[in-house]
Structure 1
Amino acid sequence: MDPLTHAVTGATIGQSLTHKPLSRGLLLWLALVGMAPDLDYVLLFISDVAYLKFHRGITHSLLMLPLWCWLFHWLTPNRLSRQLRHLSPIIALVLLSHIILDLTTSFGTMIWSPLSGQRLSWDLLFIIDPLFTACLLLPLLLGLKLKRFRHHCALVGLALGTLYIGLAAVQHQQAIELARTEQPDALEHAALPLPFSPFHWRLIAVQPESIQHAAIDLRPECMDLSSMFPVNLIRRLGAQVDTTGDLHWHSLIRLINKQPIPEQSALAFYLWFARFPVLLDKEPDYVEYGDLRFGAGVPGSRAPFRLRISRRGVHSQAWLIWSDQRITPLPLN
C-alpha cells in the first residue's frame, strides 16, 4: 500500500488500543513506525533490479518482526514512550499491520525472508486505494478535532477499514468463480484488483501457451463510484471494465521458460519477479514482455516493469523498463 495508508493505519491502531487520548506527537511517531518497513525504498539508490529483488523482503518479514519491534521501541523518545505502558505490543501490531496491508495487494511480499524469496499476495486491494484510505483517514482526522472521542473514532476507522477489506474479499472470490465458469479448462485462475473500486477486477485464466484476461465490474446497479474520480485517470490506469453479461476476453502469448537459463540472466530474473508474464511486442530487432499485474496488455497503457530483449546482429542486450524515461540495462546471460 501507499505510505499515507500505512501511516494512517499505524496512528489509528495506536489510538484504538487505549482510551486515553494520545498526543499528536505519539500519533505521528506511530504513523512513522507504520511506514517504516518501506525504508527499503533506499534500494532504488543502488539499482532498480536490487529494489525489485529485495523490496518487501527482510523489512516485511514475519521472522524479523521481533527485531524491528525491539529497534523501534528503543528508538522511541522517552517523552512519548511514557504515555503508554505497553508500547512494544502496539509497535508490533503497527508493524504487523504494514505487512498485512501489503499482502492484500498484488505486488507480492516476502514474509519468510531471508529463508525464502517466495512472494505472497492476497490480491484484494489495489496498491493505491483512496476509498480504503478514506475509511481510516476521515475518522482519524475527526478524532484529532474531538479529543474526548479520539479512541472511539479510531475504533470506527478500524471497523470501516476491516469491512472494506471484507467486501473486497467477497468480491474477489466472486470474480475468481466467474473466471472459473468462463474458462473452465485453464491451468490457473486469478482475480487482480483494479483501481478506485472494490467491484472492479481483472480476471486471469492461465492456459498452457497463453493467458486470457478480462476486466469485470461486479458493482450492483444502484452503486456508481466512477464520478468520484477523473475519467482520464481511471482510463490511464486500465480500469476499463465490462459487465457480467458483456464480458470480453483477450489473449496474450505467455512467457514460458522451456530451456535451462543462467540464474543471473535477465530472463531468469524476470520469470522470478513476474507473476503473469506475457509477450507485448515482437519486432525483428527486439521482443518486449510485461506482467499483467501492472496493466500489461491493456490497450493504450504503458505498463511499468517491462522486459525488452534486443537482438541486433551478434549483439544482444536486455533492459528493465519502468517507464519511457527510466530504463535499466540487465545482463542477458
Structure 2
Amino acid sequence: MDSLSQIALGAAVGVAAMGRRTAPWKAAAWGAVAGTLPDLDVLIDHGDPILNMVLHRAETHAPFWLTLFSLPFAMVVARLSGEWDRWRRWWWAMWLVLVTHPLLDAMTVYGTQLALPFSDHPFGVGSIFIIDPLYTLPLLVGVVWALSSSAGQGRRANAVGLMLSTAYLGWTVAAQAAVTDTAQKALAVQGIRAEHLLVTPTAFNTVLWRVVAVDGAHYHEGFHSLLDEGDAIRFDRFDRGTALAADIGAQDGVQRIQAFSKGFWAMWEQSGQLGITDLRMGQEPAYIFRFAVAERRSPVVPLAESRQIGSRPDVKRGLSWLWRRAGGEPLPPPR
C-alpha cells in the first residue's frame, strides 16, 4: 500500500497495542515510524530495474526477519521513550506494527515475499488498489481522534477506525470473489479458455474491476462495474508476443518477470528494442513495469542492464472514464 496508509496503520496499531501504558502520541509516533521501516528497501539499488522490482517487498517484508528485528528495535524505542519498565509491551506493539505492514501489502497485486527465507513466492491477493481512500480514511480519523480527545474516548475511536478499515479489506475480498465468478461465466460464454485469470480493482476504488485472462499466445482485457446492468463483459484481445521467446526467453530478467507476475506478462518489440511487460499493474496500453531487455540486431544483443520504459495513462482522461465507467456506463476503455 501507499506510504500514508502504512503510516496510518502503524500509528493506529501502536495506539491500540499500547493502550493506557503510554501517551497516545508516543504510541502513534513510534507506530508510524515502524510502519514506514519495511518500505525503506526502495532505497536499495540492486543494479538493474528488474531486480529492483522483484526484490522489493522481500526480506524487509518477511515476518520471520521482522520478528527477529522487532526485539532490538523495541528495546531502543522503550529506552528512548523513557519507559524501559514497559519494554515487553513495546516489543508486542512494535512487532504488531511491523508484521501488519507486509500483511496489508499482500492484499495488493504487486507481490510480497512473506515466506522468506523459506520461500520467495510473491503473495498478492489483489483485492485492493495500492491507494484506496476508503481504507485509509478510517485509520486517519481514528488516530487523529485518539490524539485530540480524552484517553478513553480516543482509544475507542482508534479501535473503531481499525475495525472499519479491516472490515473494508473483507469487503474487497468478497467483491473480488463475486467479480471473479462473473468473469469466469463471461469468458465461458465467449469461448475463452483462460490459463490464468486476474481480477483486480481499478484505481482508488472497489466498484470498477479489471479482468485479464491469459489464453496461450493472447491475453484478453475487460472491465466490470458492480453497477453494470447484467453480467456481460466486453473483452479486447491482444498478442502476448510469445514468438519472441526464442530471442529473449532465456534472459534472467525475462524469467524473473515471468515468475514474479505469475504468468501475467507479454513480450514486445518496438523501435528495435525487445522487452517484457508485467500486465498486472496498469491497463492497455499504459503499464508501469515495462522493461527493454535487448536490441534487435543479428543476432539479438541483450542489454547489460534492463531499461524501465513504463508509462502512465492520461490522468484527466483516465479519471473521467473511470468515474463514468464505475457508474455503469458501457464505455470502451481509453486506448
TM range (shorter): 0.7 to 0.9
* Higher normalized helix content (fraction of residues): 2
Return the structure number with greater relative CO, CA threshold 8 A, min gap 6.
2
Unaligned runs of 5+ in 2: 313-335
Secondary structure, aligned partner of 1:91: helix
2:288 pairs with one of 268, 292, 304: 304
- The AA in structure 1 aligned to 2:118 is L
1:192 correspondence with 2:200: yes
Conserved 8 A contact 2:13-2:97 = yes
Q: How far apart in 2 are the matches of 1:152 and 1:163?
A: 16
Residues 197, 262 of structure 1: CA spacing in aligned structure 2 closer, same or farther, 3 A cutoff?
Answer: closer
- The AA in structure 1 aligned to 2:137 is A
Q: How far apart in 2 are the matches of 1:99 and 1:48?
A: 22
Q: Report how many residues are paired.
A: 299
Residue number in structure 2 paired with 1:158: 162
Secondary structure, aligned partner of 2:255: helix
Secondary structure, aligned partner of 1:112: coil
Secondary structure, aligned partner of 2:45: helix
Matched ranges for 1:112-261 at <5 A: 112-148=115-151, 149-184=153-188, 185-219=193-227, 244-245=230-231, 247-256=233-242
Conserved 8 A contact 1:105-1:126 = yes
Q: How far apart in 2 are the matches of 1:98 and 1:248?
A: 36
Residue number in structure 2 paired with 1:234: none
Secondary structure, aligned partner of 1:111: coil
Unaligned runs of 5+ in 1: 220-241, 326-333
Matched ranges for 1:5-84 at <5 A: 5-20=5-20, 22-44=23-45, 46-80=47-81, 82=83, 84=86
Residue 46 of structure 1, CA deviation: 4.7
Secondary structure, aligned partner of 1:86: helix
Conserved 8 A contact 1:7-1:35 = yes
1:105 correspondence with 2:108: yes
Residue 80 of structure 1, CA deviation: 2.2
Q: How far apart in 2 are the matches of 1:260 and 1:306?
A: 17
Q: How far apart in 1 are the matches of 2:82 and 2:290?
A: 45
- The AA in structure 2 aligned to 1:203 is V
Conserved 8 A contact 1:128-1:195 = yes
Residues 291, 262 of structure 1: CA spacing in aligned structure 2 closer, same or farther, 3 A cutoff?
Answer: closer
**Identity across aligned pairs (percent)?**
24
Residues 140, 274 of structure 1: CA spacing in aligned structure 2 closer, same or farther, 3 A cutoff?
Answer: same
1:269 correspondence with 2:222: no
Residues 322, 23 of structure 1: CA spacing in aligned structure 2 closer, same or farther, 3 A cutoff?
Answer: farther
Residue number in structure 2 paired with 1:225: none
Residue 44 of structure 1, CA deviation: 3.5
Q: How far apart in 2 are the matches of 1:86 and 1:251?
A: 55
Residue 296 of structure 1, CA deviation: 4.3
Q: How far apart in 2 are the matches of 1:7 and 1:78?
A: 22
1:86 correspondence with 2:89: yes
- TM-score of the superposition, structure 2-length normalised? 0.80
Secondary structure, aligned partner of 2:168: helix
Secondary structure, aligned partner of 1:214: strand
Q: How far apart in 2 are the matches of 1:76 and 1:163?
A: 30
Q: How far apart in 2 are the matches of 1:243 and 1:310?
A: 47
Residue number in structure 2 paired with 1:278: 266
